[in-house]
Amino acid sequence: MILIMLGAPGTGKGTVAGILSKELNIPAVSSGDIFRKAIQEKTELGKEVSGYIEKGALVPDELTIKVIESRLKEPDMENGVILDGYPRTTAQAEKLDKFLSEEGKKIDKVINLETPRDELIERVVNRRICSNSDCKTIFNLKLNPPKVEGICDKCGKELIQRKDDNEEVMNNRLDSYFKETAPIVDFYKNKGILSSYEVSQRINRMGVDVAHELISELK
Residue range 122-133, pLDDT digits in tens: 988 999 999 998
DSSP H stretches of helix in the chain: 13-24, 31-40, 44-55, 61-72, 90-102, 117-125, 167-176, 183-191, 207-218
Catalytic one of 36, 95, 127, 128: 127
Tell me the Ramachandran region of residue 104: left when phi exceeds 0, alpha when psi lies from -120 to 50, beta otherwise. left
| 3-class SS of residue 129 | strand
What pLDDT, on the 0 to 100 scale, is given for residue 61?
84
Q: In what order do the strands lie in the sheet with 28-30?
A: 28-30, 81-84, 2-7, 109-114, 194-198
Q: Which residue has the higher pLDDT, 48 or 140?
A: 140
pLDDT of residue 196: 96
The CATH code of domain 2-114+166-218 reads 3.40.50.300
Region 29-54 average pLDDT: 81
| pLDDT of res. 102 | 92
Residue of 36, 95, 123, 173 marked active site: 173
Query: Residue 16's pLDDT is what?
Result: 94
Taking a C-beta distance cutoff of 8 angstroms, is the pair 208, 15 a contact? Answer: yes
Give the residue from 4, 5, 7 showing the smallest Cα distance to 182.
7
Q: What is the pLDDT of residue 70?
A: 83
Q: How far apart are CA 153 and CA 208, in angstroms?
A: 17
Instruction: Tell which residue, 195, 212, 192, 194, has the closest CA to residue 24.
Output: 212
Which is the catalytic residue, given 13, 36, 123, 128?
A: 13
User: What is the average pLDDT value for the chain, to the nearest integer?
Assistant: 89
Q: What is the pLDDT of residues 176-199, one digit of tens each?
A: 888 888 889 999 999 999 999 999
pLDDT tens digits for range 66-87: 888 888 888 988 899 999 988 9
Query: Comparing 32-41, 81-90, 142-151, 173-182, which segment has the lowest mean pLDDT?
Result: 32-41
Write down the catalytic residue from 55, 157, 162, 205.
162
**For residues 146-166, average pLDDT:** 93
Q: Could you tell me which residue, 191 or 53, shows the higher pLDDT?
A: 191
**Can 88 be counted among the known catalytic residues?**
yes
Given a cut of 90, is residue 6 above it in pLDDT? Answer: yes
Concerning whether 205 is annotated as a catalytic residue, the answer is no
What percentage of the chain carries pLDDT values higher than 70? Answer: 100
Residue 154 has pLDDT above 90, yes or no: yes
Our answer to whether residue 71 is catalytic in this structure is no
Active-site annotation holder among 36, 88, 95, 128: 88
Query: pLDDT grade, residue 150 (50/70/90)?
Result: very high
Domain ranges in the chain are 2-114+166-218
